[in-house]
């Protein structure tokens, strides 16, 4: 008997300490005073709890975050917090207004169950209940649907509808996504209207696209605007006011300092993956034959910081390029490697005469060699390589093929970004006349400051000395401060008071539309 008493005492204390179990509970007091209706004084929390749990279970299949919602109400004893706090002051009506007006963001109010919430509010407001038990299913469903709509509307506007990492294989930008703690805090908020007002996107780009979206008559134009509105909803890393952006569909690099353009130039980016890439990749996975492997040179989307410049760079040729191109060129022309200034390494040791290698003895999918192209005019990276940390071995670089910048579609590289004005870009990065002149001399250019001419003369003398072999080597330079770099993908954006549109070069709009159209 003593053991039983020890078990029941904490339960009694717990119940008595919880305001939800007081008679009448807060919801009963609030509705009783508002409607001047005595039935609410008989509000039975035990009966309501059972109905609310059943209501949640019946609705959660349509909820995006059912576990979070259930966790919140489990920790709050199933109390109808939103109805208690936000029905009388009209905040739930404001929620409905925002949901109905969600079309300005490209959403269909139906996805939030807006009509059902509005009808439940009307039923509760009509106050035609004869018994308090009749109010339980109405309050329970109103609470559950309002919680779900409130969360979804907030998450869609603050973080975007889609997580780009789930649909794009080469999307390496860390975007912030909703978490359970933030959503529970949202449900616990004390001012719903302020929250709804504050989450409206405030970026100039978003608002310009939104304005154009509301004016557009063409469905295809609306679709492009909507997709890019979604991209601007994604919570990107903080770039600060001074950063470099490469927009792949625009084939352009732009350095921005606040609203000013420091420098802008054309770029060449990675080529689009083969048509039918996904199916071909499955075939390759089965066969293991490199002839079945589809090409994918798309430049990844990423965020990093440019921290170094390499003048006269060495190109460490990726395995994929060695297998698909270098191997075949070497088999076709035994002098290709030496003529292209490409060194061959076996077990990290330089092979003195690569032209003597019998390439037919080696399978290209198991090449035991590494390839590096030395510094010089013929180097595929040109005279400059701009380095930033990333997992894809991607960098910005010069090129010895300048004709590519004359093309309309400049998706032609193996994945790295070729930039049109590497020298000017290096000058802006260094932001130091002394270092800039050092860099110029390293690539055999006259210094800007004539007091540095002795550097140039010494270098030219070394190159002209026939008694000593001059070996061109990479030289490293660092900006005073690393500059943020964002490689991104926008097919529509605002510029000079109008909307610019670009082709969907990688087909990313198509993939994003497949995910987002169900919310329209």
Q: Which pLDDT belongs to residue 20?
A: 63
Q: How many Å apart are CA 303 and CA 236, to the nearest integer?
A: 9
Least confident of 100-109, 259-268, 456-465: 456-465
The encoded tokens of residue 365 equal 């999918």
pTM for the predicted model, two decimal places: 0.90
Closest CA to 204 of 499, 491, 489: 499
Pairing of β 369-373 and β 260-270: unpaired
Tally Cβ neighbours within 10 Å of residue 175.
Answer: 16
Given this model, what pLDDT does residue 291 score?
84
Best CA proximity match to 26, nearest among 74, 95, 87:
87
The mean per-residue pLDDT over the stretch 207-216 comes to 97
Contact 27, 139 (CB under 8 A): yes
Mean pLDDT for the stretch of residues 63-67: 95
How large a percentage of the chain has pLDDT more than 70? Answer: 96
The number of angstroms, rounded, from the C-alpha of 447 to the middle of its chain's C-alpha atoms is 41
Q: Whole-angstrom Cα distance, residue 288 to residue 282?
A: 10
Structure tokens at 417: 């970004």
Instruction: Say yes or no to pLDDT of 7 above 70.
Output: no
Q: Using alpha carbons only, what angle is made at residue 155 by residues 149 and 160, rounded to the nearest 5 degrees?
A: 125
Give residue 491's pLDDT. 98
Residue 347 token pair: 């077990």
pLDDT tens figures, 363-399 = 888 899 999 999 988 899 999 999 999 999 999 999 9
Q: Which helix (H) or strand (E) holds 206?
A: helix 204-215
Rounded Cα–Cα distance for residues 279 and 431 (Å): 48
What is the rounded average pLDDT of the residues 199-224? Answer: 97
- Residue 14 confidence (pLDDT) above 60: no
What per-residue confidence (pLDDT) applies to 465? 81
Per-residue pLDDT of 320-346, as tens digits, reads: 999 999 999 999 998 999 999 999 999
- Is the pLDDT at 5 greater than 60, yes or no? no
What are the backbone angles phi and psi of residue 265, rounded to the nearest 5°? -160, 160
Q: Which two tokens stand for residue 515?
A: 């995910």
The catalytic residues are: 397, 416
What is the Cα–Cα distance from 397 to 476, expressed in whole angstroms?
Answer: 14
**pLDDT tens column, 110-159:** 999 999 999 999 999 999 999 999 999 999 999 999 999 999 999 999 99
Residues whose CB is less than 8 angstroms from the CB of residue 479 and which lie 6 or more positions away in sequence, other chains included: 306, 307, 308, 309, 429, 430, 431
Per-residue confidence (pLDDT) for residue 11, from 0 to 100: 44
Q: What mean pLDDT is predicted for residues 502-507?
A: 97
Average pLDDT, the chain: 93
Per-residue pLDDT band for 463 (boundaries 50, 70, 90) equals confident
Percent of the chain having pLDDT more than 90? 86
Cα-based distances in Å from 167 to 41, 170, 451:
52, 9, 56
Q: Model confidence over 392-446: pLDDT tens digits?
A: 999 999 999 999 999 999 999 999 999 999 999 999 999 999 999 999 999 999 9
Report residue 21's pLDDT band, with 50, 70 and 90 as the boundaries.
low
Q: Per-residue pLDDT for 250 more than 90?
A: yes
Residue 496 binned pLDDT confidence (cut-offs 50, 70, 90) = very high
Give the whole-angstrom CA distance, residue 13 versus residue 489.
58
DSSP bridge partners of 247: 252, 488
Q: What is the pLDDT of residue 17?
A: 40
With cut-offs at 50, 70 and 90, classify the pLDDT of residue 259. confident
**Exposure string (b/e) for 90-120, b if CB count within 10 Å is 16 or more?**
ebbeebbebbeebeebbbebebbbbeebbeb
pLDDT above 80 for 6: no
């Amino acid at each position: 008997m003593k053991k039983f008493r020890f078990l029941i005492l904490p339960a009694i204390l717990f119940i008595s300490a919880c305001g939800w179990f007081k008679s009448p509970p807060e919801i009963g007091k609030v509705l009783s005073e508002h409607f001047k209706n005595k039935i609410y004084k008989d509000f039975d929390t035990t009966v309501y709890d059972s109905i609310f749990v059943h209501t949640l279970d019946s609705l959660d299949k349509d909820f995006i975050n059912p576990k979070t919602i259930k966790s919140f109400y489990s920790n709050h004893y199933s109390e109808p917090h939103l109805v208690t706090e936000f029905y009388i002051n009209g905040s739930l009506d404001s929620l409905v207004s925002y949901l109905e007006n969600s079309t300005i963001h490209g959403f269909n109010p139906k996805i939030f169950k807006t009509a059902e919430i509005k009808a439940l509010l009307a039923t509760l407001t009509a106050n035609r209940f004869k018994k308090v038990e009749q109010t339980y299913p109405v309050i329970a469903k109103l609470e559950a649907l309002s919680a779900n709509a409130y969360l979804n509307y907030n998450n869609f506007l603050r973080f975007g509808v889609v997580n780009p990492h789930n649909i794009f294989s080469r999307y390496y930008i860390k975007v912030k996504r909703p978490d359970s703690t933030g959503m529970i805090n949202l449900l616990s908020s004390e001012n719903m209207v302020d929250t709804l007002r504050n989450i409206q996107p405030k970026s100039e780009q978003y608002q310009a696209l939104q304005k154009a979206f509301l004016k557009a008559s063409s469905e295809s134009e609306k679709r492009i605007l909507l997709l890019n509105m979604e991209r601007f909803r994604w919570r990107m890393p903080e770039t600060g006011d001074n950063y470099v952006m490469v927009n792949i569909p625009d084939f352009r690099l732009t350095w921005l300092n606040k609203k000013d353009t420091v420098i802008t130039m054309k770029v060449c980016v990675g080529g689009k993956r083969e048509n039918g890439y996904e199916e071909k990749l499955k075939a390759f996975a089965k066969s293991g034959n490199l002839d079945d492997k589809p090409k994918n040179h798309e430049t990844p989307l990423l965020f990093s910081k440019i921290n170094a410049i390499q003048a006269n760079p060495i190109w460490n040729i990726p395995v994929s390029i060695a297998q698909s191109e270098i191997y075949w060129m070497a088999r076709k022309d035994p002098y290709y490697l030496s003529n292209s200034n490409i060194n061959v390494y076996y077990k990290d040791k330089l092979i003195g005469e690569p032209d003597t290698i019998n390439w037919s003895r080696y399978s290209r999918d198991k090449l035991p060699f590494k390839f590096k192209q030395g510094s010089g005019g013929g180097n595929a990276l040109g005279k400059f390589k701009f380095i930033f940390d990333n997992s894809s071995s991607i960098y910005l670089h010069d090129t010895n093929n300048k004709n590519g910048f004359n093309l309309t579609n400049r998706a032609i590289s193996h994945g790295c970004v070729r930039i049109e004005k590497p020298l000017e870009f290096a000058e802006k990065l260094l932001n130091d006349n002394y270092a800039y002149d050092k860099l110029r001399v390293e690539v055999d250019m006259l210094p800007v400051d004539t007091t540095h001419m002795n550097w140039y003369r010494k270098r030219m003398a070394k190159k002209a000395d026939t008694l000593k072999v001059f070996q061109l080597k990479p030289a490293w330079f660092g900006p005073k401060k690393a500059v943020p770099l964002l490689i991104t993908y926008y097919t529509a954006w605002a510029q000079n008071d109008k909307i610019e549109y670009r082709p969907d070069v990688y087909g990313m709009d198509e993939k994003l539309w497949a995910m987002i159209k169900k919310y329209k």
